[in-house]
Amino acid sequence: MSAEPVEVRVTKPETDAYLSVRDLRVHFPTADGLVKSVDGLSFDVHRGEILGIVGESGSGKSVTSQAILGLHKGSRARITGEIWLDGQELVGASEERMRALRGDQMAMIFQDPLSAMHPFYRVGDQISEAYRVHNKVSKAVAKKRSIEMLDRVGIPNPDRRYSEYPHQFSGGMRQRAMIAMALVCDPKLLIADEPTTALDVTVQAQILDLMKDLQREFNSAIILITHDLGVVAETCDQVVVMYGGQCVETGTVDEIFYEPQMPYAWGLLTSMPRLDRSRQDRLQPIAGQPPSLIQVPKGCVFNPRCAYQDKVGGDVCRTQHPELVPLSTSSTHAVRCHIHPEERRRIWADEIKPTL
């Protein structure tokens, strides 16, 4: 029933990261063919660090987070690779084991708090329930703890709000309640899947501030999944740029924003209108459409939309799949591109950066 890992390595990778994902693949067999939602993804998240995963819809960001939480277990998904959470391997873990970890060691904040909360139960009871699943305490203690959390995430009158229903909360308040629910067991890993996409900018600013505060307070590891580069710049330490189910570039937030080397990352930066720069006459979109995950392009996954293929001789871009290569042995900045690093640096400095 559940997905069997192809290779189960019992040795933990040499890293002190709280969560480390190694060569994760999530494939869904469908009537039309095999959908390769995530195809060979690796990254590390440390305690006290915020990792941003950016990408367009269909790039596999949400599927990755669901795989970490074990939400694909029992489905037809084929999951291979390794997910190490604090020394435990999760891909081969049983459903019961995952259930014990979910909520306790790792928790998730969803995009749409209205559909993620049960409409028939009081908000406070839902938070208490999450607490009592993992802690043998009385209802009264759980309630006290929930009210504390509601207060901590900035909900006014938490006593009264405890016994209200989700529909009585506004969007921002609901997202705060979701955060309270996720944090009630003090998880070390928090996955936030587009936590502010459904919110207005003014409320988004409040929620992002709150998440940063809580992260400092609890020293947790956070994975922030978003399509908004502004949100990434504001909150994240490390960034993974995903395209077509693969990581195409990764590095610190400064490396990704000030020295990006992958044509897709350039495209993302040039295609968005920005309030902090003078207005351009025309936006420079990335041509074409995102790839089909059933027929992933041969060679570099970005090649059908890439404007810089002529920088590489022959048809290498269309035939050979590039590896994710670190720029130097000590660097965290790694890029999946055939263009020579010197050439990439030159294109960024001479052609892309001045147009931003």
Partner 1 sequence: MSTTAESGPQPNDINVNPVEDSDALLRVNGVTKHFPIKQGILFQRQVGAVRAVDGVSFSVSAGETLGLVGESGCGKSTTGRVITKLLDPTAGEIIFDGKNIADYSRSQMRSIRRHVQMIFQDPYSSLNPRHTIGTIVGAPFRIQRTKTERGIKAEVQDLMARVGLNPEHYNRYPHEFSGGQRQRIGIARAVALRPKLIVCDEPVSALDVSIQAQVVNLLEDLQSEYNLAYIFVAHDLSVVRHIADRVAVMYLGKIMELTDRDSLYEKPVHPYTHSLMSAVPVPDPHKEARRERILLTGDLPSPINPPPGCVFHTRCPKYRAVLSENDKQRCRSEVPLLEPKSPGHFAACHFPEIRTDLATAQDAGVAGR
Cα-based distances in Å from 343 to 198, 313, 348, 351: 40, 13, 9, 11
Q: Is 271 in the site for partner 1 (CB under 8 A)?
A: yes
Buried b (16+ CB within 10 A) or exposed e, 286-317: beeebbebeebbebbbbbbbbebbebbeeeeb
Residue 141's identity, in one-letter code, is: V
Q: Is 274 in the site for partner 1 (CB under 8 A)?
A: yes
Strands 106-109 and 189-193: parallel
Among 1, 14, 32, 57, binds partner 1 (CB under 8 A): 57
Long-range contacts of 85-90 (CB under 8 A, 24+ apart): 85/18, 85/19, 85/189, 86/18, 86/19, 86/188, 87/12, 89/8, 89/10, 89/12
Q: Which of residues 279-308 bind partner 1 (CB under 8 A)?
A: 279-280, 282-287, 289-290
Nearest-approach distance from CB 323 to partner 1, in angstroms: 24
* Closest to 171 (Cα-Cα) out of 135, 196, 146: 196
> Considering only 75-83, 84-92, 254-262, 312-320, which stretch makes contact with partner 1 by CB under 8 A?
254-262
> Considering only 4-12, 143-151, 264-272, 320-328, which stretch makes contact with partner 1 by CB under 8 A?
264-272
**Token pair recorded at residue 245:** 């189910």
Residue 22 — φ and ψ, nearest 5°?
A: -125, 120
x-or-dash pattern for partner 1, window 152-191, by CB under 8 A?
Answer: ------------------xxxx------------------
Residue 72 — φ and ψ, nearest 5°?
A: -90, -5
Cβ proximity to partner 1, 48 vs 230, nearer residue: 230
Sheet containing strand 246-252, strands side by side: 106-109, 189-193, 221-226, 50-54, 238-243, 246-252, 334-335, 325-326
Q: Is 206 in the site for partner 1 (CB under 8 A)?
A: yes
Nearest-approach distance from CB 304 to partner 1, in angstroms: 13
> Considering only 10-18, 74-82, 277-285, 327-335, which stretch makes contact with partner 1 by CB under 8 A?
277-285
Angle at 290 between CA 289 and CA 292, to 5 degrees: 110
Cβ proximity to partner 1, 223 vs 265, nearer residue: 265
Among 208, 224, 301, 317, binds partner 1 (CB under 8 A): 208
| DSSP-derived secondary structure letter, 102 | B
* Closest to 21 (Cα-Cα) out of 74, 76, 57, 60: 60
Cβ proximity to partner 1, 42 vs 197, nearer residue: 197
Among 251, 263, 267, 322, binds partner 1 (CB under 8 A): 267
Among 96, 120, 275, 313, binds partner 1 (CB under 8 A): 275
Cβ proximity to partner 1, 85 vs 265, nearer residue: 265
Q: Is 276 in the site for partner 1 (CB under 8 A)?
A: yes
Nearest-approach distance from CB 353 to partner 1, in angstroms: 12
* Closest to 317 (Cα-Cα) out of 292, 295, 337: 337
Nearest-approach distance from CB 328 to partner 1, in angstroms: 21
Among 269, 293, 300, 337, binds partner 1 (CB under 8 A): 269
Among 1, 31, 140, 201, binds partner 1 (CB under 8 A): 201
Q: Is 140 in the site for partner 1 (CB under 8 A)?
A: no
Interacting residues with partner 1 (CB under 8 A): 56-57, 170-173, 200-206, 208-209, 227-234, 253-254, 257-258, 267-269, 271-280, 282-287, 289-290
